[in-house]
């Protein structure tokens, strides 16, 4: 049941990313920069289309990596993983929920990166430092999420410990 919430969160994050990428792509100038000098001058100019296609490829690659494992568990193509988390095991639901929600957090982080690029390139409209809280929050959340995976796996391994007399 939890993994369904994870899936909903994942697909919601995909929609948020697509909206952010398309919306901010339309608002960017033809030449964009990714770094600012101390005086506020943009460094490393790139074409707007390079940013769009590069970001889309990064998004696809990260989503393939994060969704591959839960899909192989759901479809039973990864037999070792299916043996570890069989149908009916309560940890199966938790691990599926973790993977889908982790993919959602990765997508939200990419959305925030699109906001950051927009903020850097449109300093007169939006100040990049206005989102400092969110820039620091996303890595912290991802770190906590990875820690939750280790806690989840530790609980699973403790529950499967065999006692030999």
Quickly list DSSP for the chain.
Answer: -HHHHHHHHHHHHHHHHHHHHHHHHHHS-SEEEEEE-TTS-EEEEEEHHHHHHHHHHHHHHHHHHHHHHHHHHHTT--HHHHHHS-TT-HHHHHHHHHHHHHHHHHHHHHHHHHHHHHHHHTTTT--GGGGHHHHHHHHHHHHHHHHHHHHHHHHHHHHTPPP--
Report the share of the chain in percent with pLDDT over 70. Answer: 85
Domain range list for the chain: 2-154
Give tens-digit pLDDT for 19-46: 988 888 887 777 776 666 666 666 667 7
What per-residue confidence (pLDDT) applies to 47? 80
Looking at per-residue pLDDT, the higher value among 131 and 36 belongs to 131
Instruction: Please check the confidence at residue 9 and state whether its pLDDT lies above 70.
Output: yes
Is the pTM above the cut of 0.85? no
What per-residue confidence (pLDDT) applies to 57? 94
What per-residue confidence (pLDDT) applies to 52? 86
Instruction: Please check the confidence at residue 165 and state whether its pLDDT lies above 60.
Output: no
What per-residue confidence (pLDDT) applies to 162? 57
| pLDDT-derived band at 85, boundaries 50, 70, 90 | confident
């Amino acid at each position: 049941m939890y993994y369904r919430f994870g899936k909903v969160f994942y697909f919601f994050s995909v929609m948020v990313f697509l909206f952010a990428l398309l919306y901010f792509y339309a608002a960017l100038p033809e030449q964009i920069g990714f770094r600012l000098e101390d005086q506020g001058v943009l460094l490393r100019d790139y074409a707007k289309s390079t940013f769009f296609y590069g970001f889309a490829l990064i998004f696809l690659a990260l989503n393939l990596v994060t969704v591959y494992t839960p899909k192989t568990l759901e479809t039973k193509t990864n037999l070792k993983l299916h043996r570890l988390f069989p149908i009916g095991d309560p940890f199966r639901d938790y691990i599926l929920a973790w993977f889908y929600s982790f993919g959602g957090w990765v997508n939200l982080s990419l959305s925030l990166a699109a906001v950051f690029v927009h903020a850097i390139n449109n300093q007169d409209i939006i100040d990049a430092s206005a989102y400092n809280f969110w820039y620091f929050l996303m890595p912290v959340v991802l770190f906590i999420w990875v820690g939750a995976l280790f806690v989840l796996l530790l609980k699973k391994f403790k529950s499967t410990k065999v006692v030999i007399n």
